[in-house]
Amino acid sequence: MLFMGCFLGYVMRTNLSINIIAMVENTNPNITTPSPDYGPRYNWTQNDQALLLGAYFYGYMLTSIPGGILAENFGGTRVLGYSFLLTGVLTALTPAAAALNKWAVFVLRFSQGFIQGVLYPCCHNLISKWAPPDEKGKFVASLMGGTFGTVITWPASGLIIQALGWHWAFYVAAIVILCGMILWFIFVADNPAKHKTISAEEKQYIEKSLGVNVSNKNRIPPYWSIMKSTPFWGLILLHYGSMWGLFFLLTATPKFLSEVLGFNLSSAGFIASLPHLVRMLGAFVFGSIADWIRRRDWLTVTAMRKIFCIPSHILPGVFLIILAYFGKDPYVCVALMTISLGFNGAASVTNLQNSQDLAPNYAGTLYGIINFLGTTPGFFSPMLVAAFTEENNAIEQWHWVFIIGGLIYIVPALIFWLIGSGSVQKWNEFEGKEGEKTTMDKI
Q: Quick one: DSSP state of residue 314?
A: I
346, 311 Cβ separation under 8 angstroms: yes
Residue 67's pLDDT band (boundaries 50, 70, 90)? Answer: confident
| pLDDT given for residue 235 in this prediction | 93
Q: What percent of the chain has pLDDT over 70?
A: 86
Task: Provide the whole-model pTM.
Answer: 0.69
What string of DSSP letters covers 132-173? -GGGHHHHHHGGGHHHHHHHHHHHHHHHHHHHH-HHHHHHHH
406, 324 Cβ separation under 8 angstroms: yes
Q: Could you name the CATH architecture of 1-27+41-198?
A: Up-down Bundle (1.20)
Q: CATH 1.20.1250.20 in the chain, residues?
A: 1-27+41-198, 220-429
* Separation of alpha carbons 403 and 245, rounded Å: 11
* Separation of alpha carbons 155 and 18, rounded Å: 9
139, 349 Cβ separation under 8 angstroms: no
Residue 290's pLDDT band (boundaries 50, 70, 90)? Answer: confident
429, 440 Cβ separation under 8 angstroms: yes
Report, as an integer, the average pLDDT of 169-191: 91
Cβ neighbourhood burial of 163 (10 Å; 0-12, 13-18, 19+): exposed
Helix axes 2-23, 166-187, angle to 10 degrees: 170
pLDDT, tens digit (0-9, with 9 covering 90-100), for 219-259: 677 888 888 899 999 999 999 999 888 877 766 666 666 66
CA 296 from chain centre, in angstroms, equals 30
Residue-averaged pLDDT of the chain: 82
184, 76 Cβ separation under 8 angstroms: no
SS3 437: strand
CATH number of the domain at 220-429, out of 1.20.1250.20, 2.40.50.140, 1.10.8.60, 1.10.10.10? 1.20.1250.20
- Residue 392 in this model has a pLDDT that exceeds 70: no
- Residue 432 in this model has a pLDDT that exceeds 50: no
Q: Which of 174-183, 251-260, 270-279 has the lowest mean pLDDT?
A: 251-260
- Residue 104 in this model has a pLDDT that exceeds 90: yes
| pLDDT given for residue 439 in this prediction | 37
- Residue 115 in this model has a pLDDT that exceeds 90: yes
Residue 327's pLDDT band (boundaries 50, 70, 90)? Answer: low
- Residue 381 in this model has a pLDDT that exceeds 80: no
